[in-house]
């Protein structure tokens, strides 16, 4: 039985296990991921508290201010493959720490901006790149430390952004009243520097399995040397590569010729013990970015789901406060609505993680149900006309957002999509595809608001994108099932061909055949 066994090494060295630990240092990674979530997506979702201040200071429209977060989200998602390449090359720890420095630098510099274009560069480009380098490697390495508990642990750790929105929105609002929006933004940038500490906790993990494999039927040759002894039945089997000629069984050769036994072992139930050699050939280099996932139809459908669903992820958090203000709700009560949405998202994430942790369960179908309900929540916002109606919609939306936002990236590790082996590359490509929606979503909502003079239109655009995402998500499982059937058929055909064509050279019948052919050749000469 395989055991979880960590090799004691210095804190800078990787953790080596014989199987996925489902804990261990992974709990520290989950702790770090909680704060990385809070200081990345938590800040992005709380940025709506600065909207009116920026519009007044720079005398700009909704759509132009929306481009700040749009560029940030676009850079964050567009550079996801770069994050994957850097993580595979330099390690997750270094990349996340560098991302923390970039985030803090961009946010602190933005507090001195004089035009909205300065905000595009500082928060949009510099901090956006930092968000990518910080978030994606953290969630990827967290998935590698857990297997059975992956969904639950990731969901609970991802609640960091919810607690951040719950606490940051009122805190920043109160801080602005005391020191102004510029110094408030400066304080946020200094706080985000703590991502460097979280990155320093990300120790890489190496899984070295100790294999114990049962032998295949005796007629199939093996490359491994194996010897076991049985007191009652004694026979001998040798590897094809041993260099010793093996005669056939007595039933095949007249005279009942026997091979000279070299060692003895059971005839029916043979175990092959893989012997590690110190001079093993070097392993092939890991690809820095594996684009072969793009050949998987199930992943393509899942990527389109992420592309359209992203339209509904950020705009509601950005426009909920302007919408509430347009309905005559005070600033303090508007901040409470955003905080209530964040608290509901916490329960949504934990509930989704708990449900997805149950087995047996088809996780992709649970995700589909949550996406459909999230679409309903987005359509409900325009029908709210007062504080409690908006509060109810926000709580429902926050809960359903938590079920989707906390699980859509970890679900890449499930076999219904790509599996844990290709999780790192798939996450990079998946988030890269999301970049277009991240760039277009908030400005599209801003243009609709400027055109219609109604904040409800922003929520309609988000709902439309979420519905399209649900359509593509419903195709993931059928595409995967069809691909698996095709692969199984190909494997069966290959195995059948191998049985017919792959005959050993040391069969005596073949030797006799060769002798007869050579004799006929001599007679013809």
Q: What is the pLDDT of residues 134-176, one digit of tens each?
A: 988 888 888 888 877 777 888 788 888 878 877 887 888 889 8
Asked if residue 393 is part of any domain, the answer here is yes
The verdict on 162 and 307 lying in the same domain is: no
The verdict on 181 and 317 lying in the same domain is: no
Asked if residue 434 is part of any domain, the answer here is yes
| Residue-level pLDDT at 334 | 81
pLDDT beyond 90 at 215: no
Asked if residue 158 is part of any domain, the answer here is yes
| Residue-level pLDDT at 5 | 46
The verdict on 198 and 339 lying in the same domain is: no
Asked if residue 241 is part of any domain, the answer here is no
The verdict on 171 and 49 lying in the same domain is: yes
CATH number at residue 373: 1.20.1250.20
E strand or H helix that includes residue 272: strand 271-273
Domain stop point among 181, 209, 237: 209
Asked if residue 146 is part of any domain, the answer here is yes
373 HSE (CA, 13 A, CB side): 18
| Residue-level pLDDT at 236 | 44
The verdict on 311 and 170 lying in the same domain is: no
On the 0-12 / 13-18 / 19+ scale of CB atoms within 10 A, 233 is: exposed
The verdict on 350 and 488 lying in the same domain is: yes
| Residue-level pLDDT at 341 | 84
| Residue-level pLDDT at 216 | 53
pLDDT digits (tens, 9 = 90+) for 361-376: 777 888 889 899 999 9
Number of structural domains, the chain? Answer: 2
The verdict on 201 and 320 lying in the same domain is: no
**Cα 150 from Cα 142, distance rounded (Å):** 8
The verdict on 203 and 303 lying in the same domain is: no
User: Averaged over 248-266, what is the pLDDT?
Assistant: 44
> For 183, phi and psi rounded to 5 degrees?
-70, -30
Domain stop point among 169, 189, 209: 209
Asked if residue 229 is part of any domain, the answer here is no
Domain stop point among 209, 242, 268: 209
Residue 415 belongs to what domain range? 291-497
| Residue-level pLDDT at 486 | 57
Question: With b meaning 16 or more CB within 10 Å and e meaning fewer, what string describes 124-158?
Answer: bbbbbbbbbbbbbbbbbbbbbbbeebbbbbbbbbb
pLDDT digits (tens, 9 = 90+) for 179-196: 989 999 999 999 999 999
Q: What is the pTM of this model?
A: 0.60
Average pLDDT of the residues of the chain: 74
């Amino acid at each position: 039985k395989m055991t979880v066994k960590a090799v004691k090494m210095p804190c800078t060295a990787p953790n080596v296990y014989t199987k996925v630990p489902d804990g261990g240092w992974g709990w520290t990674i989950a702790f770090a991921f909680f704060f990385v979530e809070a200081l990345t997506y938590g800040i992005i979702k709380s940025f709506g508290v600065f909207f009116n201040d920026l519009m007044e200071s720079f005398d700009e429209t909704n759509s132009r201010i929306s481009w700040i977060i749009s560029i940030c989200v676009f850079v964050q998602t567009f550079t996801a493959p770069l994050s994957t390449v850097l993580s595979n090359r330099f390690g997750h720890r270094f990349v996340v720490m560098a991302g923390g420095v970039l985030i803090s630098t961009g946010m602190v510099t933005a507090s001195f901006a004089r035009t909205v274009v300065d905000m595009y560069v500082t928060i949009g480009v510099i901090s956006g790149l930092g968000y990518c380098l910080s978030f994606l490697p953290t969630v990827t390495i967290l998935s590698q430390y857990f297997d059975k508990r992956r969904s639950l642990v990731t969901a609970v750790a991802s609640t960091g952004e919810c607690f951040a929105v719950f606490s940051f929105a009122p805190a920043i609002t109160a801080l602005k009243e005391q020191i102004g929006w510029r110094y408030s933004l400066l304080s946020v940038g200094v706080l985000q520097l703590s991502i460097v500490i979280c990155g320093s906790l990300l120790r890489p993990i190496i899984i070295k399995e100790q294999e114990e494999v049962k032998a295949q039927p005796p007629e199939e040759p093996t490359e491994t040397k194996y010897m076991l002894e049985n007191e009652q039945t004694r026979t001998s089997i040798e590897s094809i590569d041993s260099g010793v000629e093996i005669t056939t069984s007595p039933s095949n050769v007249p005279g009942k010729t026997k091979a000279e036994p070299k060692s003895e072992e059971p005839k029916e139930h043979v175990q092959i013990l893989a012997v590690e050699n110190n001079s093993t050939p070097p392993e092939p280099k890991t690809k820095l970015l594996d684009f072969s996932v793009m050949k998987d139809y199930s992943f393509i459908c899942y990527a389109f789901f992420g592309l359209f669903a992203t339209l509904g992820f950020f705009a509601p958090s950005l426009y909920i406060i302007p919408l509430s203000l347009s309905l005559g709700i005070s600033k303090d009560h508007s901040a409470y609505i955003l905080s209530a949405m964040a608290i509901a998202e916490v329960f949504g994430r934990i509930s989704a993680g708990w449900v997805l942790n149950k087995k047996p369960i088809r996780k992709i179908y649970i995700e589909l149900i949550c996406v459909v309900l999230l679409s309903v929540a987005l359509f409900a916002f325009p029908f709210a006309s007062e504080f409690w109606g908006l509060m109810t919609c926000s709580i429902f939306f926050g809960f359903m957002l938590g079920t989707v936002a906390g699980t859509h990236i970890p679900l890449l590790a499930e076999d219904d999509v790509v599996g844990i082996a290709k999780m790192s590359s798939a996450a990079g490509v998946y988030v890269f595809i999301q970049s277009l929606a991240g760039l277009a979503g908030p400005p599209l909502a801003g243009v609709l608001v400027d055109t219609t003079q109604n904040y409800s239109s922003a929520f309609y655009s988000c709902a439309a994108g979420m519905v399209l995402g649900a359509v593509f998500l419903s195709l993931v499982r059928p595409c995967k099932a069809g691909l698996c059937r095709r692969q199984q058929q190909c494997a069966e055909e290959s195995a059948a061909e191998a049985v017919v064509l792959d005959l050993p050279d040391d069969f005596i019948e073949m030797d006799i055949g060769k002798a007869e052919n050579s004799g006929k050749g001599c007679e013809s000469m």
